[in-house]
Structure 1
Amino acid sequence: MKQVFALCETLADDTNIMAMDLSHNFLTDMATQALASIIKSNRTIRFINLAGNDIGPEGAQHLAKALSHPSCSLQAMSLTGNPLEEDGCMAMADMLRVNTSLRALDLNNVGAGVKGLVSVCSALTPDAVEPQGQANTSLEVLDLGQPVIHQPQDTVVLAISRMLAGNPTLFELGLSKQRLVDSQLETLVSYGLLHNQVLTSIDLRANRLSGFSGPQLERLLTENTHISALNLASNMLGDAGACSLARCLPYCTWLTRLDLRNNNIGEQLLLLWGNVFGPASSRAFLEALGSDGHKARRLRQGLVKWLDV
């Protein structure tokens, strides 16, 4: 721990270092006190990676206090894999209400529960902040993946939807492993994503979306022309969901990245895709499918031969 304090003391007045990667260093709450001084005093450092450490609620409060300081100029911070828990996430939410420098915040797998998630979303929703605060309108990238939620939570989905409908700056959002089901995707699309003209990338990996989500995904991609990247890997869309996507993708020229790996999509449907939409769409779909699994490899070999690439 002495090394961390020594490092921070050395960097206090440094004007060359712009990024610090301290991930997976067993840093605890005590270390964040030293890091907090750097965040407040050093105006050159723009990114700090603290992923995979042991920073808990107390450490999160130290960091949040530093990030709330008027002199803070940090633009990106990753806290993924730290046990911030509810209190730590709520401290981050309070910080977001006053911070104007952060552009990216990674809160993936930090032990966030319903209260923590709702608090963060509320801090980014113009009409949901308390009278003593204001909505954050500077954050552009946010990852809320893998919270501690054991069953689908409509409260969280509604909070995310309100945030998406009202926030004017967020263009990338991570919602992986949120246990989202089909009905919640419908809420997210109807009350959030279709009212958002800023978001360009959304990560919905490893949720519980089935083929019944197909029409909502088709609606999203057809009506929201700003979405350029959509990650649906490791859901359960199957052939039904893929058919819905097949109907709209040839016309969604704004979509440049689509991940459909591990969705139990059958070979016949994919081959039909190639025959109907031709080489260009088939190449794009091969990229979406990825190369995982024996079925994907066989399909890739067959389509690549057909495409003559």
Structure 2
Amino acid sequence: MLNLQAIKIAEEGAKAVAKALETNKILTSFVLMSNNIGEGGTKAIAKSLEINKTLTSLNLWSNNIGAEGAKAVAKALEINKTLTSLYMSENDIGEEGIKAVAKALENNKTLTSLDLSWNNIGQEGAKIIAQTLETNKTLNLLHLAENDIGKEGAKAIAKALENNKTLTLLDLTSNNIGEEGVKAIAKTLETNITLTSLNLWSNNIGEKGAKAVAKALEPQKTLTSLDMASNNIREEGAKAVAKALKTNKNLTSLDLSWNNIGEEGAKAVAKALETNKTLISLNLSFNSIGDEGAMEVAKALETNKTLTSLDLWSNFYDPSNNSIGEGTKIDISSFLRRNLEETQIQKDGAKISV
């Protein structure tokens, strides 16, 4: 791997590197992130991709490539037969750039991982990429974080997932999809059999959105990782998720941090942990669960033998007298350590953050 991250090579430096890539027969992974190579530098790199036969991973994160740079990369993708991972986040490629990339994906048969986060593609851009997902047979990982796709963009993605049989990871972090958008995603989850990781962090889905996701989790057979942090799901949303955890047999990682679930929400989750046999990692940080909520979690861990990582950081009602007690911390940590030992994972790997 060659890492040239943030060394200010700019356009001219990128052109020199591109010339070398045309003849290079060894390099497989190349990181060019944060170099401000711009449209011109990107076009040179893209041209080299049409010739290069060894590169499998390219990181162009934060390079101000714009729509024209994205078009050049897209053209290369129609020809290149070796690249499997492409990172183009924070490049302001916009709707025009996404059109070109989406069209290239219709013909490209090798790319499996694509990061288009922070690119201002909006709901129309999401609709364009969704159309591609309906027919693309190779993409496994798709990152669309911070693109303001909204509820309509989420609906388009959800519809595409009804037909897509290859995508395993979908990152929709901070896209303002709201309750309506997440309900569409949740409905698709009930029947989707390939998605294993879903990130819904900071989408303002609320209690009703959380209930829709929870309902989908009950029959869901493939999802193993779910991030619902910072969604204001509150107590009722947490209770719905807890109910799903009692029957779900696949989820191993769950993030419910920054959701104001409170003591009662924590108690519901704790109750679910008494019977859940699959969850390994749980994040309940910044939820004001207090000592009572934490003690219920500790009690659940007396019988739960699978949870090995638990984050309870910053959980209090009144910082002056209601923080999680030291005794509770010790109890939880000892239970997690026991679980690690019983599952034959490294002895000192149990983690608790409070």
Per the normalisation by structure 2, the TM-score is 0.66
Name 2:325's counterpart in structure 1: 241
Q: Does 1:137 align with 2:221?
A: yes
Out of 82, 99, 124, the residue aligned to residue 192 of structure 2 is 99
CA distance in 1, matches of 2:335, 2:106: 53
Q: Is the 8 Å Cα contact of residues 336 and 350 (structure 2) preserved in structure 1?
A: no
CA distance in 2, matches of 1:42, 1:193: 38
**Computing the radius of gyration over CA atoms, which structure comes out larger, 1 or 2?**
2
Q: Does 1:56 align with 2:150?
A: yes
Shift, 1:148, TM fit: 3.5
The change in CA–CA distance for 1:247 and 1:95 in structure 2 (over 3 A counts) is: closer
Q: Between 159-168 and 38-47, report the one with greater CA deviation.
A: 38-47
Shift, 1:49, TM fit: 0.5
The change in CA–CA distance for 1:284 and 1:40 in structure 2 (over 3 A counts) is: closer
Deviations 1:49-103 (A, max 9, x none): 011111111111110000011x431000010100101110110011111111100
Q: Is the 8 Å Cα contact of residues 214 and 242 (structure 1) preserved in structure 2?
A: no
Deviations 1:6-63 (A, max 9, x none): 1111121212211110111111111112211221222211110011111111111110
- Structure 2: gaps of 5 or more residues: 1-94, 341-346
Out of 289, 307, 310, the residue aligned to residue 209 of structure 1 is 289
Name the Cα RMSD after superposition: 2.3
Name 1:219's counterpart in structure 2: 299
Q: Which has the higher contact order (CA 8 A, sep 6+)?
A: 1
Letter in 1 for 2:291: G
Q: Does 1:5 align with 2:93?
A: no
CA distance in 1, matches of 2:127, 2:335: 52
Q: Is the 8 Å Cα contact of residues 154 and 184 (structure 2) preserved in structure 1?
A: yes
Shift, 1:249, TM fit: 3.1
Q: Does 1:176 align with 2:260?
A: no
- Structure 1: gaps of 5 or more residues: 126-134, 257-279, 290-309
Deviations 1:91-146 (A, max 9, x none): 00111111111000111111102221101110111xxxxxxxxx221111111111
CA distance in 2, matches of 1:251, 1:138: 28
Deviations 1:243-289 (A, max 9, x none): 12314534542456xxxxxxxxxxxxxxxxxxxxxxx98x988x957
Runs of 4 or more, structure 1, over 4 Å off, are 237-240
The change in CA–CA distance for 1:43 and 1:227 in structure 2 (over 3 A counts) is: same
Count of matched residue positions in the alignment of Structure 1 and Structure 2:
250
Q: Does 1:122 align with 2:180?
A: no
Name 1:46's counterpart in structure 2: 140
Out of 240, 244, 250, the residue aligned to residue 163 of structure 1 is 244
Out of 123, 141, 146, the residue aligned to residue 230 of structure 2 is 146
